[in-house]
Copies of this chain bind each other. A is one copy, B any other.
Amino acid sequence: MGKSQNKREQILEIAERAVLAKGFGATSIEEIIAEAGITKSGFFYHFKDKNELALALINRYIDQDDALFDEIFNRADELSSDPLHSFLIGLKLLAEMLDNLPEGHPGCLVATFCYQERLFNKDVILRNKEGLLSWRTRFRGHFEKIAEKYPARDPVELDHLADMLSSTIEGGIVLSKAMGKPKTLSQQIMLMRSYVRLLFEPVPS
């Protein structure tokens, strides 16, 4: 290879930060290449147009998030073999991890992209949707095992419950960012955890 090989990765990092702070349309290629120290030709060597950058950004984001959820819930499974308590531990680990980000959560690309859908082609929109669906499948798996062992105190659809975690994270990020309070996100996750406990944990009779 020519030189760095990681210039592409650097572009993605810079672009993600800029897109989360200003939106995709307002992020200029010029500012990205200025910060990355490359020329415009260098950028268009890696991405044939801005939409290809968007696709690479969302793919990267979803892959990273998947890896993070794997790590957290695998760790939780090591700490308890009970599906309910393992999931509750996972939510706590998630909340703690998010609380330890000094600047708060930087923002979710899925959320920004859904608020700028007119800017993207079908591939990007589809990948965004797939990310959400994969998280639904993942979390639904947890709730299926929980509901098998513990009867729910209120009849709820497991798909909706699975979506609730994605929704809580998305909503929590919006409140955190808009109010300038990083802790808000973890507080919302802990509230959802409280709901899961009330819904499934047997009353200590």
Q: Which residues of A contact B (CB under 8 A)?
A: 20-27, 107, 110-119, 128-129, 132-133, 153-154, 156-157, 160-161, 163-164, 166-172, 174-175, 177-180, 184, 187-188, 190-191, 194-195, 197-199
The docked-state distance in angstroms from the alpha carbon of A114 to that of B176 is: 9
Cβ of A191 and Cβ of B23 under 8 Å apart? no
Beyond A23-B116, A171-B171, A195-B198, whether A163 also contacts B188 by CB under 8 A is: yes
Q: Which of B107, B116, B164, B188 contacts A188 (CB 8 A)?
A: B164
Cβ of A111 and Cβ of B174 under 8 Å apart? yes
Q: How many copies does the complex hold?
A: 2
Cβ of B118 and Cβ of A154 under 8 Å apart? no
Cβ of B118 and Cβ of A179 under 8 Å apart? no
Q: Which of B23, B111, B178, B198 contacts A199 (CB 8 A)?
A: B198
Cβ of B179 and Cβ of A133 under 8 Å apart? yes
The docked-state distance in angstroms from the alpha carbon of A161 to that of B109 is: 26
The docked-state distance in angstroms from the alpha carbon of A52 to that of B119 is: 24
The docked-state distance in angstroms from the alpha carbon of A128 to that of B178 is: 7
Beyond A23-B26, A164-B191, whether A110 also contacts B178 by CB under 8 A is: yes
The docked-state distance in angstroms from the alpha carbon of A27 to that of B164 is: 31
Cβ of A20 and Cβ of B115 under 8 Å apart? yes
The docked-state distance in angstroms from the alpha carbon of A172 to that of B160 is: 11
Cβ of A166 and Cβ of B177 under 8 Å apart? no
Cβ of A160 and Cβ of B179 under 8 Å apart? no
Closest to A110 in B: B178
Cβ of B115 and Cβ of A177 under 8 Å apart? yes
Cβ of B156 and Cβ of A191 under 8 Å apart? yes
CB distance from A156 to the nearest CB of B (A): 6
The docked-state distance in angstroms from the alpha carbon of A179 to that of B199 is: 26
Closest to A159 in B: B187
Cβ of B179 and Cβ of A172 under 8 Å apart? no
